[in-house]
Amino acid sequence: MDDGYVLPVPLTGIVLSLLLACLFNILKRRQVKSKELEPRRDEVDHLEATLNALQDSTIAIRASKAGSATLKNLWRLNNPFVSDSPELQQAYRRALMKTFSKTDNNAWAAIARSAAVSLEPFLRHRYDNGTYTITANVKDISRHVALVAVLKGLFDIDHVPTDTLMYIGSEIHRLTVGKKQYDAGASRPDDLPQDLQRAADRLIDILRGVFSEAKESNELARTILCSVSGTPDHFNPLDLVIPAFEAPWRGVYYTLLAVLQPGLSKPDAVLALRDSAADRPPSPAALAIAYESLRLYPPIRRVRREQRVDIEAVQRDPQYWGPTADTFDPWRFLDGKGEINTTLIGPGSAWMPFAVGAMKCPSAGGYSARMIAVLAGEVLRQLFPGTDRPQWTMDGPEWDSAARTGQALRAGRDEYASVSVIASMPS
């Protein structure tokens, strides 16, 4: 009986070889196609790479970065920015979060009042040809009100003489700028110029006088300055003042520059801040302005961990913010109902001015944004008193054509130092 046709053995081997060759080619093509679909290492999503770098950062990595030695040697610091102690970091975080949670509407109103009183020496009033003007240097008033707010809000320190506050603010700025040229190599105190070190020591002594009562009466100062980082006899207020002051003052500064930048044609942002009362939670519009300022002009633009992390680049990337990424547009943070679009500032978003992960700033929960809104609002209330629509001009050689036409402002630490706002109103 015929059981069917059977291929000769040699021919069977040929057929099997052909089938195996075809199968190999198919698998190879699929493998190549799969590799083509995978992003190349240099094409990995910028946001994901940045988030991963920040998430993977540790306190030990931050303490070992270039510049930590200068902070230790120049400022005599012993805080989470220079120490790799997890216990010290957690103590700071717990104490600050407790302080932030106690800052209610009444406390914010008191901060605003202190800022308003302290501003008067910085405002130049003038009557000329039927017009009343108020002129102020934007950088000076931003730095000043931020320092007043830090001392009042965190330590309940008030009524410090104006000249003392001006000295503290200007010296912190001057020495911060001066130290940067030594960040890479000043690993020992002897590597720093003696005049720079003497100036820092003099500043610490002055701040100890300012904190002479607060170190005993204020819980935050007593816990951190006199227990965690120092002792009642050997404490350094800069351990808290530096991180609490440096970022907020620049946040206030660029918020004011940005909302004053358009001039007479767009006063909506000025009105939103001026008319948002300090004794109530900021309006969504006022918060949106703070969020946009922190997006376009983050106080900490770049950080170094195991690699360089460019926060500013992500927050200005059109891939995440659209074609107006380089434009100051606060209303992008509002939804159709005029409320904050929380997806733009939530976890995994391209908005990260306070970093992310374990190194995230304790003030990220809303304290810093409200401080910016409250202080910028108080400055604008002093510049534009009453309810009239504001009118102003900006003056100074650094206020160039790019700034006057609404282009993105330069974001360096010393930019626009000579620029003043001139608020005008009929007398």
Strands (E), 28-161: 124-128, 131-137
Residues of the chain with pLDDT under 50: 1-12, 14-16, 19, 26-28, 30-43
Nearest to 186 by CA among 305, 73, 60, 303: 73
- CATH superfamily of domain region 45-426: Cytochrome P450 (1.10.630.10)
Q: What is the pLDDT of residue 186?
A: 67
What is the C-alpha separation between 138 and 178, in angstroms, rounded? 22
pTM: 0.87
Q: Which residue has the tokens 């006088």?
A: 209
- Look at residues 293, 303, 309 and name the one whose alpha carbon lies nearest to residue 47: 309
* pLDDT at site 27: 47
- The answer to whether 304 and 66 have CB atoms below 8 angstroms apart is yes
Two tokens at 341? 């679009």
Could you tell me if 199 and 193 are in contact, meaning their C-beta atoms sit under 8 angstroms apart? no
Quote the pLDDT of residue 210: 98
Instruction: Give the list of residues 6+ apart from residue 293 with CB closer than 8 angstroms, or none.
Output: 251, 254, 255, 258, 328, 330, 372
CA dist 32 → 38, 43, 85, 112, 128 (Å): 10, 18, 48, 63, 77
pLDDT at 284: 97
Q: Determine contact, residues 91/85, Cβ cutoff 8 Å.
A: no
Closest Cα partner for 266 from 283, 246, 289? 289
pLDDT attached to residue 356: 85
pLDDT digits (tens, 9 = 90+) for 81-100: 899 999 999 999 999 999 99
CA angle (390, 114, 339) in 5-degree steps: 55
**Cα–Cα dist 246/299, whole Å:** 8
Q: How far is residue 48's CA from residue 43's CA, in Å, rounded to a whole number?
A: 11
The per-residue pLDDT for 263 is 66
For residue 273, the model assigns a pLDDT of 97
